[in-house]
Chains A and B, each alone.
Chain A
Amino acid sequence: MAAEVPRKKKKRKGRENKKTRTVLPNTLSEPNQRYANNQIKTTKYTLLSFLPKNLFEQFHRFANVYFVFIALLNFVPALNAFQPELALAPVLFILSVTAIKDLWEDFRRHRSDTEINHLDCLVYCREHRRYVERFWKEVLVGDFIRLRCNEVVPADVLLLSSSDPDRLCHIETATLDGETNLKQRQVVRSFYDLDCDFDPLKYNSVIECEKPNNDLNRFRGYIIHSNSRRDALYKVNLLLRGCTVRNTEEAVGIVIYAGHETKAMLNNNGPRYKRSKLERQMNLDVFWCVVILLVMCVFAAVGHGLWMFQYRGQRPVFEVLSPDGSDLSPITSSLYLFLTMIIVFQVLIPISLYVSLEIVKVCQVFFIHQDMDLYDEDLDSRLQCRALNITEDLGQMQFIFSDKTGTLTENKMVFRRCTVAGVEYSHDANARRLAMYQEIDSEEEECTSRGGTLPRRDSIGSHHSAPMHHSAPVVLRSHSTKSHRRTGSRAEAKRASILSKHTAFSSPMEKDVTPDPQLLEKVNDCGAQLDFLRLHGRPWSQLPSDLADIMDFFIALTICNTVVVSSPDQPRHKVRLRLELKSPVKTIEDFIKRFTPSRLTSGSNSSSSSSLATNRSSARGCSSILSSPSAESTLTKLEEEQQQSLNHAFSSTPPSYDRKLWQEGAKLRYEAESPDEAALVYAARAYKCSLVGRLPDQVTVELPQLGKLSFELLHTLGFDSTRKRMSVVVRHPLTDEITVYTKGADSVIMDLIRTEDTGKRRKKILFRTQNFLNLYAADGLRTLCIAKKTLNKEEYTYWLQRHLEAETSIQGREELLFESALRLETNLQLLGATGIEDRLQDGVPETIACLRQAGLQIWVLTGDKQETAVNIAYACKLLEPEEEILTLNANSQESCALLLEESLHYIQTKFLSSSSPFFQPPSSSSSSCHSLPFMVHRLGLVIDGRTLAYALDRSLEDTFLAVARSCRSVLCCRSTPLQKSMVVKLVRNKLKVMTLAIGDGANDVSMIQVADVGVGISGQEGMQAVMASDFALPRFRYLQKLLLVHGHWCYSRLANMILYFFYKNAMFVALIFWYQFYCGFSGSAMIDQWYLIFFNLMFSAFPQLVTGTLDKDVSSETLQRLPQLYRSGQNSEGYKPYMFWMNMLDAFYQSLVCFFIPYFAYADSDVDLFTWGTPITTLALLTILLHLGVETKTWTWMNWFSIIFSIFLFFSVALCYSATCPTCSSPSNPYWTMHRLLSEPLFYLLCLITPVVALLPRYFYRACQGALFASPAGLGAELKTGPVFEPHFLSLSELVKKDCKMSSDFSKAPANQDTAPQVKEGTGRTPLVVTPASTPLQVQTAGVQVTLPPAGGSQPVKYSRKSEEAEPWQSDHAAANEKQQLGAQASLPITV
């Protein structure tokens, strides 16, 4: 025991050591060889390991093991049915196809690895004392690397030096996270003040950092200098592998992680594998195949035993003794036979099914990829399929869970209105301008040439009150891209053009904000007053408080963000407008030093030495606050000095300069991490408060009348989703106070506002702002609150001390920083609030309507506040004005339970009393819920995040689901990412439905991962959602075609193919089974073993692949026009359990035909075994191919080709095979069989009649189905070609018939009745449903319409027109408001 304890300790120590990594520079010591080098190897195999490893992996698949087992069974002499070697062939074939595929993929990986490994980079060489070119793979941890502009970073590098005067390095991380805005990285602080070039030889520090991990947004560590001083290292010091250096001529860094240990590589996960619903169903039927196989084998074995038994010792001459010369007992013999039969019938389990499915799915993915309709011209992005094997799931979706922001909306944030100090500025002109943009957008869609749109935008811009700023950026933008192209390489130019398009926050619509005249006047007034105050040396506090609030409001808008400024001439170049070089406060000493007089002197010196004057500190002294008592005297003295220098500075600024700068400011481009930030900065610029430069420690702002002001940026407390706010701590240059500007969600900010001991005015502001916030939210605007707080020195010092502790700690740094931020953001003073509009994406209402018509239930899960969400929901037609809205807001578990009960009760009384069949009490529901008969129409559910948390509790989830399922639309507001995924999981597991989650942001990732199919919008919020998704779309509206067309096709194709596969194998195997009755159940086969084994692999393989890839049961146009057709996939109508059995029955029938027609035709003749068996093989092949032909809906030349090729292949192989090797392939030995057959007329006569007889029932069924009782899908297929191409008298009657059929189909959900709910549904939205669903009489009237040839021809058009009429586009807010009011009136009085 005693001995163990120290060992444990040692272990722990060892582990502790392992927790960090120590990096020494390679100039001093030996290379850090124990760390991975930079060579990457993403290949799975080596030449040696390929075979065993690949085989091992393949044998994880059960089917492969089964087939190998059977092949091995063949090697047992007592059992063998085929030549053992031959029996191995199919397994080997399948294994080798997969192996070759794997090998090819691996080889491609290897090639790209080699390519990447052999990229060049500059590495410092100790011997040569300079940087030399090396391959990437030769880079080691500890190497110094020099990076030049536009180079890709070869490894994770700690930035030690940069040519940038601010010691920054700009990188683009598009390859990592898809975010296209530039990011800044900082040189490690200790090397910050290094003026000369960085010399690796002088570097002698040691870096301690955490072990390699895959968190892109975290890096912790510290650097230990030779003087044993420690400096913390952050994420901002690290350049990640794969990023591109921009705007920085040169940077030097030391490699921290290399090769596979880099964060980029650790994040690199392979494609995701999911199993689709269809495949799960299929596996069940594979199991049934196994059962059938066993039954057949047992049957044969018993038959054989009886057959043997009847001879009872009298051994006939044709019976063969066992090898030892003794008689086999019937029981032993039938046991052997059982195993032999398994070998013979093995084909019943479709060996090539899995491989074929994979091939077809890859082809389907290719076609989805290639679809022009899913390509977005503006973004130049197309759909990506990231999961290769769930294409058919797209056709079976039942629930869609959608994010709102960026998914339904464009995520293009447009500043709409604001309130400052309790006064609302409605920005009417701005609203009008936005309305105009909407019109332009719709026009633009029709306009094909992109060039044509730009001038028009300009002309629109010139209508505005301040045209100067509006048209300029557009022109400049196009210029800038051109100039960039001229200089850069072609690839670079391409990149730039993409970037300029992707730089989302720069469309004129977002950039140009028409200022509210009232506010503008006040801002100007404020500027003038400030100017006056300054000139007269009066303190800032003399400003009227409302004007001061306005000023602070705009300053907050301008600086409380992380926006990077770049100039338009070089889109990716940050504006180099440095006024002063200073690092932010990082230590207490630093702080004290800086706020002591000496520091002030140096500061003012440096500022006066720089070309532009700054207003680092205001005229009003801050001694009482800032200086420590000991330094007070010096401070007062220096104050005067400073004031002089300031005055000097002001006078030196020529008045004209302002103007020029202002224009310059208008040209600046802002690159923001979130569109809201950019929108606010652009809004502030409209009021001439523009951000002109941002450095790590300083923000420069241009203010009206005042010119440039530099704010010393002390801290930035970045945004996070828990705090829902961000803050900056700055030193206000005018007051020299330490000021905190906070911006964040209204819910959190409002709670942080200081309410005690504030004046009446403040309270009034708070009250009025809250009112306006509610108004904004009701308008569907995104609201943000702006607040500020001034700190006195003591407070700041106290906070700073703990903040610095937090910053320097390695473990738990995030938590500590979070707490630190919480400590700071209290007792705020409310300045105002903004309303930002996030416009709906094009076609969202139509898409939602269409998807809903297709039977999909759409839930929207958003983090937005309730009012905003509800309004957007109205705008996108998720909620309809005539719907009742159930709103669930609860404060506690109990009230939530009560609410849910009440709602449930309400629904039951209301809808059950009107004898609605849709609703069932939740207790009995879980069994049959895959169909959607539970929807109660005209009911929307809105639930907020807090209530959702209660509702998702285990005790309430069933009730919640019961309520939610009865509603047509569900809207969850204020939901966290975790809640989103919980909702999806709940619905998926409890209702047993197929779910699709669509989202664009990081907060949707968990939801996307949980759903059956995850769709990411490759929009503007980075790539996290896309990375987690199975499919990535450029826009929401593409979901329509993806689901309705591709989903439907993929599903019906695969369903048909799988059924066909089962049929084909069963039909072929059954032939041999029937033969057992005529060969004493001895396991003998009349089909040559070669045919038997290669039938599936060669002769009948191609046509089904072609059909599985290309067949279209309904045309794309029809599928989109009649979304109802999607329901066939939802109800799994393409592959129902009975279909499997029907196909099996058909297979047995067909094989009976193919067996017995030759049997009787050759009965009592001198035909020999294989001369009789070969025609049977041929007949089976022809029948199987023609069967596929009957099932094929569209014939392209590829279908023809594949079928003809298959037949040709069979005959040529058969001819070759029976012309070679007269003594091989015992026992069949088919020498010359085929040639003889081809010379016999009987053979051809058989070939003519057998397939006809075999396919007659199926063809007759199809013909009846197609001609008499059309399915909706069939109807669609014919609608496309139109009745014009058909003989009149038939087609017309067909259409009528089909209408009836369709109506019954749609009303199938409540199979037994035909009352209220459908009529409701019909009047609600789909006229198509109304007509047929009501009464038989109406069906007939519809029929009359159709009977007239012209009307019949225009029928399909009429559908679409009607639906358009019924759903006019209503997106303006007036209408939305109205609706909202309606909804509010109708909503239940149960809101708690």
Chain B
Amino acid sequence: MVKEEQETANRPDNTAFTQQRLPAWQPMLSAGIVIPGFVLIGLAFIGIGVALFVTTRSIQVLELDYSGVEQSSPCFKCSDTSTKNCVCNMNFNLDKLFEGPVFFYYGLSNYFQNFRRYGVSKDLDQLSGNLDNFENPTDDCVPFQYDANKKPIVPCGAVANSIFNDTFKLYQIIGGTKKPVPLDGKGIAWWTDYNIKNRNPSVTPLKNAFNGTVQPSNWPKPAYELDPTDPANNGFINQDFLVWMRRAALPNFRKLYRRIAEEDYAQGLPAGNYSLEIAYNYPVLSFDGRKKVVLSNVSWMGGKNEFLGIAYLVIGSLCVVMSVVMLIVYAKFKFPDEE
């Protein structure tokens, strides 16, 4: 034994690994596997596609553009930026029950919330209630860091400064009278944003924390007075503020404004006439933007979107077609040989 060892001191290890002989699966891309595979994938996709398509068909969506570009629009008068506190009404009619819960969105088009320098312009530490950052907001917020008097802006940055400030009221018109539809603004922001990420400084009253700071230039009122009705909806944990701060991915987006799920409207909006009262403040026409209101209900897979269902159907069919093509090509090669 010893002798053998000595004689083979340089002998390599003879293991499957070192000899590159690990058991291996070789995926054979032969027609026998590929064609049935394609058929199977195709059929499965068609199945999913049909399900998605049916689901998304059941979703109801109502969109109302209120930018006031056309003169016929009730909001045309408000589109002039010189008018202050302009209110306009949009009327619409529902043929059938708009099934609840109905989500009330506002939508903006051609609005680049994903612009890089815009997106950076906020102070996460300030928003989490760090008082140091009240006095010295981060440099990211430039030029919305300090005002002309070198007073720190809280909340600082372009995102906060440009908060969407149109407000909406929805009325059902029953026999000429306006019955307000209750809009639920609670829990429209991410739970984590409201409870963990954004925090007000633990100073009571909240107002004192903002001493020595100024509100963003576009804001009519300071952060601690955003919602006079609910003290828990002020400061950095104001739901509308949170929704706005979560930047949209694409230049055409909608953001959740309210939910309609209370009182008489728990089952949805019944058929009938409605009036939407809009406090028109937000200027969008200067950059060719559009504003709209969207009412929608949702399914298990989110809002109305027919794309995915169609995509599944198309791809599934494509797979099946390809497999048929391959089969034909095969047949051509196969039969001459067998003769």
Task: Tell me if B112 and A1080 are in contact (CB < 8 A).
Answer: yes
Task: Tell me if B27 and A1195 are in contact (CB < 8 A).
Answer: yes
Shortest Cβ distance from B118 into A: residue? A318
B269 at the interface (CB under 8 A from A): no
Task: Tell me if B121 and A320 are in contact (CB < 8 A).
Answer: yes
A196 at the interface (CB under 8 A from B): no
Which chain B residues border A1223 with CB–CB below 8 Å? 124-125, 127-128, 197
Shortest Cβ distance from A373 into B: residue? B19
Shortest Cβ distance from A1172 into B: residue? B249
Task: Tell me if A1166 and B255 are in contact (CB < 8 A).
Answer: yes
Which chain B residues border A497 with CB–CB below 8 Å? 3, 6-7
B158 at the interface (CB under 8 A from A): yes
B23 at the interface (CB under 8 A from A): yes
Shortest Cβ distance from B335 into A: residue? A1293
A1357 at the interface (CB under 8 A from B): no
B119 at the interface (CB under 8 A from A): yes
Take A1084-B116, A1163-B307 as given contacts and tell me if A375 and B12 are in contact as well, using a CB distance cutoff of 8 Å. Answer: yes
Take A317-B162, A1293-B330 as given contacts and tell me if A1167 and B9 are in contact as well, using a CB distance cutoff of 8 Å. Answer: no
A1231 at the interface (CB under 8 A from B): yes
> Which B1-58 residues have a C-beta within 8 angstroms of A?
2-3, 6-14, 18-20, 22-32, 34, 41, 45, 48, 52
Task: Tell me if A375 and B11 are in contact (CB < 8 A).
Answer: yes
Stretch of A93-101, A985-993, A1256-1264 on the interface side: A1256-1264
A1248 at the interface (CB under 8 A from B): yes
B225 at the interface (CB under 8 A from A): no
Counting chain B residues whose Cβ lies within 8 A of the other chain, the interface size class is: 35 or more
A1287 at the interface (CB under 8 A from B): yes
Shortest Cβ distance from A1159 into B: residue? B250
Question: How far apart sit A1157 and B111, CA to CA, in the bound complex (Å)?
Answer: 22
Q: How far is the CB of A783 from chain B (nearest CB, A)?
A: 36
Shortest Cβ distance from A333 into B: residue? B117
Take A1163-B305, A1173-B249, A1290-B334 as given contacts and tell me if A81 and B124 are in contact as well, using a CB distance cutoff of 8 Å. Answer: no
Shortest Cβ distance from B128 into A: residue? A1223
Contact of A1227 (CB < 8 Å), options: B20, B29, B122, B330 = B122
Highest count of chain A CB atoms <10 Å: which of B25, B26, B52: B26
A25 at the interface (CB under 8 A from B): no
Contact of B32 (CB < 8 Å), options: A1164, A1248, A1287 = A1287
Task: Tell me if B162 and A318 are in contact (CB < 8 A).
Answer: yes
Task: Tell me if B139 and A77 are in contact (CB < 8 A).
Answer: yes
Stretch of A210-218, A575-583, A1126-1134, A1234-1242 on the interface side: A1234-1242
A1309 at the interface (CB under 8 A from B): no
Which chain B residues border A1198 with CB–CB below 8 Å? 22
Shortest Cβ distance from A367 into B: residue? B20
Interface bits B324-336 vs A (CB < 8 Å: 1, else 0): 0010011001100
Task: Tell me if A369 and B12 are in contact (CB < 8 A).
Answer: yes
Which chain A residues border B13 with CB–CB below 8 Å? 370
B248 at the interface (CB under 8 A from A): yes
Which chain A residues border B45 with CB–CB below 8 Å? 1249, 1252
Interface bits A68-110 vs B (CB < 8 Å: 1, else 0): 0000000001000100000000000000000000000000000
Which chain A residues border B114 with CB–CB below 8 Å? 1078-1079, 1082, 1084, 1086, 1169
Take A1166-B253, A1249-B315 as given contacts and tell me if A494 and B247 are in contact as well, using a CB distance cutoff of 8 Å. Answer: no
B76 at the interface (CB under 8 A from A): no
Q: How far is the CB of A1108 from chain B (nearest CB, A)?
A: 13
Which chain B residues border A1252 with CB–CB below 8 Å? 41, 45, 315
Task: Tell me if A321 and B333 are in contact (CB < 8 A).
Answer: no
Interface bits B118-158 vs A (CB < 8 Å: 1, else 0): 11111011011000000000011011000000000000001
Take A320-B158, A1196-B22 as given contacts and tell me if A1249 and B308 are in contact as well, using a CB distance cutoff of 8 Å. Answer: yes
Task: Tell me if A1078 and B315 are in contact (CB < 8 A).
Answer: no
Which chain B residues border A1167 with CB–CB below 8 Å? 248-249, 253
Take A1165-B305, A1263-B326, A1287-B30 as given contacts and tell me if A1078 and B250 are in contact as well, using a CB distance cutoff of 8 Å. Answer: yes
Highest count of chain B CB atoms <10 Å: which of A1110, A1289, A1296: A1289
Stretch of B171-179, B260-268, B296-304 on the interface side: B296-304
Question: How far apart sit A1167 and B127, CA to CA, in the bound complex (Å)?
Answer: 21
A381 at the interface (CB under 8 A from B): yes
Shortest Cβ distance from B191 into A: residue? A1232
Which chain A residues border B337 with CB–CB below 8 Å? 1292-1293, 1296, 1343, 1347
Which chain B residues border A367 with CB–CB below 8 Å? 18, 20
Which chain A residues border B122 with CB–CB below 8 Å? 1226-1227
Q: How far is the CB of B302 from chain A (nearest CB, A)?
A: 5
Which chain B residues border A380 with CB–CB below 8 Å? 7-11
* B interface secondary structure, majority: mixed
Question: How far apart sit A13 and B255, CA to CA, in the bound complex (Å)?
Answer: 91
Task: Tell me if A1169 and B248 are in contact (CB < 8 A).
Answer: yes
Which chain B residues border A1195 with CB–CB below 8 Å? 24-27
Task: Tell me if A320 and B115 are in contact (CB < 8 A).
Answer: yes
Which chain A residues border B190 with CB–CB below 8 Å? 1232, 1236
Question: How far apart sit A200 and B142, CA to CA, in the bound complex (Å)?
Answer: 84
Contact of A377 (CB < 8 Å), options: B8, B27, B253 = B8
A350 at the interface (CB under 8 A from B): no
Q: How far is the CB of B295 from chain A (nearest CB, A)?
A: 13
Question: How far apart sit A1083 and B20, CA to CA, in the bound complex (Å)?
Answer: 46
Task: Tell me if A318 and B113 are in contact (CB < 8 A).
Answer: yes
B251 at the interface (CB under 8 A from A): yes
Task: Tell me if B143 and A321 are in contact (CB < 8 A).
Answer: yes
Question: How far apart sit A340 and B255, CA to CA, in the bound complex (Å)?
Answer: 30
Q: How far is the CB of A1321 from chain B (nearest CB, A)?
A: 28
Shortest Cβ distance from B198 into A: residue? A1222
Question: How far apart sit A1116 and B21, CA to CA, in the bound complex (Å)?
Answer: 10
Task: Tell me if B124 and A1194 are in contact (CB < 8 A).
Answer: no
Contact of A1169 (CB < 8 Å), options: B117, B249, B315 = B249
> Which B162-212 residues have a C-beta within 8 angstroms of A?
162, 190, 192-193, 196-197
Stretch of A233-241, A436-444, A855-863, A1265-1273 on the interface side: A1265-1273
Take A1242-B308, A1266-B30 as given contacts and tell me if A382 and B11 are in contact as well, using a CB distance cutoff of 8 Å. Answer: yes
> Which A1290-1318 residues have a C-beta within 8 angstroms of B?
1290-1294, 1296-1297
Task: Tell me if B23 and A1196 are in contact (CB < 8 A).
Answer: yes
Question: How far apart sit A391 and B333, CA to CA, in the bound complex (Å)?
Answer: 40
Task: Tell me if B287 and A1290 are in contact (CB < 8 A).
Answer: no
Question: How far apart sit A1198 and B23, CA to CA, in the bound complex (Å)?
Answer: 10
Highest count of chain B CB atoms <10 Å: which of A370, A1086, A1263: A1263
Q: How far is the CB of A1152 from chain B (nearest CB, A)?
A: 14
> Which A351-377 residues have a C-beta within 8 angstroms of B?
366-367, 369-372, 375, 377
Q: How far is the CB of A894 from chain B (nearest CB, A)?
A: 54
B283 at the interface (CB under 8 A from A): yes
> Which B86-125 residues have a C-beta within 8 angstroms of A?
105, 107, 111-122, 124-125
Q: How far is the CB of B256 from chain A (nearest CB, A)?
A: 5
A1112 at the interface (CB under 8 A from B): yes
Q: How far is the CB of B244 from chain A (nearest CB, A)?
A: 11
Which chain A residues border B82 with CB–CB below 8 Å? none
Task: Tell me if A1222 and B192 are in contact (CB < 8 A).
Answer: yes
Take A367-B20, A1229-B124, A1292-B337 as given contacts and tell me if A318 and B246 are in contact as well, using a CB distance cutoff of 8 Å. Answer: no
Question: How far apart sit A1315 and B29, CA to CA, in the bound complex (Å)?
Answer: 34
Task: Tell me if B249 and A372 are in contact (CB < 8 A).
Answer: no
Task: Tell me if A1222 and B334 are in contact (CB < 8 A).
Answer: no
Take A1166-B248, A1343-B337 as given contacts and tell me if A1227 and B119 are in contact as well, using a CB distance cutoff of 8 Å. Answer: yes
Task: Tell me if B115 and A318 are in contact (CB < 8 A).
Answer: yes
Which chain B residues border A321 with CB–CB below 8 Å? 143
A/B interface sample: 12 pairs, CB < 8 A: A316-B287, A319-B118, A322-B143, A1082-B116, A1165-B253, A1167-B249, A1169-B248, A1172-B250, A1195-B27, A1268-B326, A1278-B28, A1278-B30
Besides the known contacts A1164-B305, A1266-B30, 14 further A-B residue pairs in the complex with CB atoms under 8 A apart: A325-B143, A367-B18, A375-B10, A380-B7, A1078-B251, A1079-B114, A1079-B251, A1082-B117, A1163-B250, A1165-B254, A1242-B301, A1264-B326, A1281-B28, A1286-B30
Ranked 3 nearest A-B pairs via Cβ: A1266-B29, A316-B287, A1287-B32
